[in-house]
């Protein structure tokens, strides 16, 4: 009986391992290739990126045709500039980044990069030119080096280290007994939210895209990590066209333009100061967040 039990137990371990790897692949596709419906047109050319200027022209979109989620939306992000999108939960902010990455096809209107309709170009070339730092970075059950190198197939160890240094995670990695060979992910070392975001930033530095999408995490990191990450992102977005999906207004006061969305529509746009002066929806959101921050710091003082 015992003789039979051991191999069965062993098989159980292998089964779990295989299941885990499949889960990784599914998660990866969940992130990178949510939808297979979007097809390249036969003979579609590669996207020719110059500065990476983005243009949404009268874009409408519905996940389900009975409910329109983006309504006749137009805006542009000039090459090299930073535009932030804000709005309450469910306003349609993340949907904009999914449409730009062409996870989904627009129902109406068009999206252009450097004047080219993204439906007319090869998806691979489109996705190569866009780097995403997502809300929650997926780490593969592999080494930390693999997780960074994933940004650019064929990257060497010195490329990986250079990117890790620029993302300010190199010193942390060096403190680990196995350094870059440390297994991370669900079965390895669990990285903190800030460390995971730094891995995503290092990946994106390696990828070196003309366009950057930063989907800000909903839950705030502690304020020290938050400021450090914001600094790294500002460096990363320098000279790149950047779209920030923002939850905390304090992180986007320097954006060239802020778009305020409500129920799929653009209700205000302008710089932070212009929007405050206007005294509309943005100014109200700003006042609410400032108030919440004050309450949080009051709680902190009382606890101290
Ligand atoms: P949050 O700030 O909470 O992240 P958001 O502004 O980014 O919200 P979106 O994720 O763009 O909002 O969602 C816009 C609307 O589309 C929401 O009403 C949401 O329920 C709906 N939606 C999002 N993803 C899907 C999907 N895959 N299928 C159907 N509806 C979806």
Tell me the per-residue pLDDT of 58-92, one tens digit each, with 9 for 90 and over. 999 999 989 999 999 999 999 999 999 999 989 99
Average pLDDT in the 167-188 region? Answer: 92
Instruction: Flag whether pLDDT at 161 surpasses 50.
Output: yes
Any atom of ligand 1 within 6 Å of the Cβ of 90: yes
Average pLDDT in the 205-221 region? Answer: 83
Q: How many A from CA of 36 to the centre of ligand 1?
A: 19
Mean of all residue pLDDT scores within the chain = 85
Q: Give the per-residue pLDDT at 304.
A: 42
Band (pLDDT 50/70/90 cuts) for residue 283 is very high
Atom in ligand 1 nearest the alpha carbon of residue 91: 6
Report field, pTM of the whole predicted structure over 0.90: no
Any atom of ligand 1 within 6 Å of the Cβ of 69: yes
- 73's CB contacts (< 8 A; 6+ apart) are 56, 58, 59, 60, 96, 109, 264, 265, 266
Band (pLDDT 50/70/90 cuts) for residue 268 is very high
Q: How many A from CA of 58 to the centre of ligand 1?
A: 19
Average pLDDT in the 145-162 region? Answer: 92
Pocket test of ligand 1: the residue of 94, 134, 245 to mutate, having most ligand atoms within 8 Å of its CB, is 94
ipTM higher than 0.85?
yes
Band (pLDDT 50/70/90 cuts) for residue 42 is very high
Instruction: Flag whether pLDDT at 280 surpasses 90.
Output: yes
Between 54-63, 67-76, 225-234, 281-290, the lowest mean confidence (pLDDT) is in 225-234
In b/e form, how buried is each residue of 183-219, taking b as 16+ CB within 10 angstroms?
A: bbbeebeebebbbbbbbbbbbbbbbebbbbbbbbbee
Instruction: Flag whether pLDDT at 285 surpasses 90.
Output: yes
Band (pLDDT 50/70/90 cuts) for residue 186 is confident
Q: Give the per-residue pLDDT at 137.
A: 83
What value, to the nearest 5°, has the Cα angle with vertex 135 and ends 69 and 109? Answer: 30
Between 13-27, 39-53, 110-124, the lowest mean confidence (pLDDT) is in 13-27
- The residue contributing the CA closest to ligand 1 atom 25 is 63
Q: Indicate the pairing of strand 116-117 with strand 241-245.
A: unpaired
Any atom of ligand 1 within 6 Å of the Cβ of 134: no
Task: Pick the more confident residue, 221 or 97.
Answer: 97
Condensed to tens digits (0 to 9), the pLDDT of residues 3-34 reads 555 555 555 555 555 544 444 444 444 445 44
- 60's CB contacts (< 8 A; 6+ apart) are 68, 70, 71, 72, 73, 106, 107, 108, 109
Instruction: Flag whether pLDDT at 158 surpasses 80.
Output: yes
Average pLDDT in the 274-286 region? Answer: 96
Band (pLDDT 50/70/90 cuts) for residue 303 is very low
Any atom of ligand 1 within 6 Å of the Cβ of 89: yes
């Amino acid at each position: 009986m015992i003789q039979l039990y051991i191999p069965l137990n062993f098989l159980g371990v292998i089964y779990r391992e295989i299941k885990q790897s499949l889960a990784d692949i599914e998660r990866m596709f969940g992130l990178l290739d949510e939808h297979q419906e979007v097809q390249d047109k036969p003979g579609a050319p590669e996207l020719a990126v110059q500065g990476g200027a983005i243009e949404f022209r009268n874009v409408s979109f519905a996940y389900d045709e009975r409910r329109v989620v983006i309504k006749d939306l137009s805006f542009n992000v000039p090459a090299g500039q930073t535009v932030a999108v804000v709005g309450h939960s469910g306003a349609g902010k993340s949907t904009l980044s999914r449409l730009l990455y062409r996870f989904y096809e627009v129902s109406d209107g068009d999206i252009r990069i450097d004047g080219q309709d993204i439906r007319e170009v090869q998806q691979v070339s489109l996705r190569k030119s866009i780097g995403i730092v997502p809300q929650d970075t997926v780490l593969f059950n592999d080494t930390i080096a693999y997780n960074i190198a994933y940004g650019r197939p064929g990257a060497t160890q010195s490329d990986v280290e250079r990117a890790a240094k620029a993302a300010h995670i190199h010193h942390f990695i060096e403190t680990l007994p196995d350094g870059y060979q440390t297994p991370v992910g669900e079965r390895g070392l669990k990285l903190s939210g800030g460390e995971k975001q730094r891995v995503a930033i290092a990946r994106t530095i390696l990828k070196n895209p003309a366009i950057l999408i930063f989907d800000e995490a909903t839950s705030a990191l502690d304020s020290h990590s938050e400021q450090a990450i914001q600094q790294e992102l500002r460096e990363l977005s320098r000279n790149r066209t950047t779209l920030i999906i923002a939850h905390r207004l304090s992180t986007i006061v320097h954006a060239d333009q802020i778009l305020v969305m409500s129920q799929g529509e653009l209700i205000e746009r302008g710089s932070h100061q212009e929007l405050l002066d206007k005294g509309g929806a943005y100014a109200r959101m700003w006042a609410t967040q400032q108030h919440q921050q004050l309450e949080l710091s009051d709680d902190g003082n009382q606890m101290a």
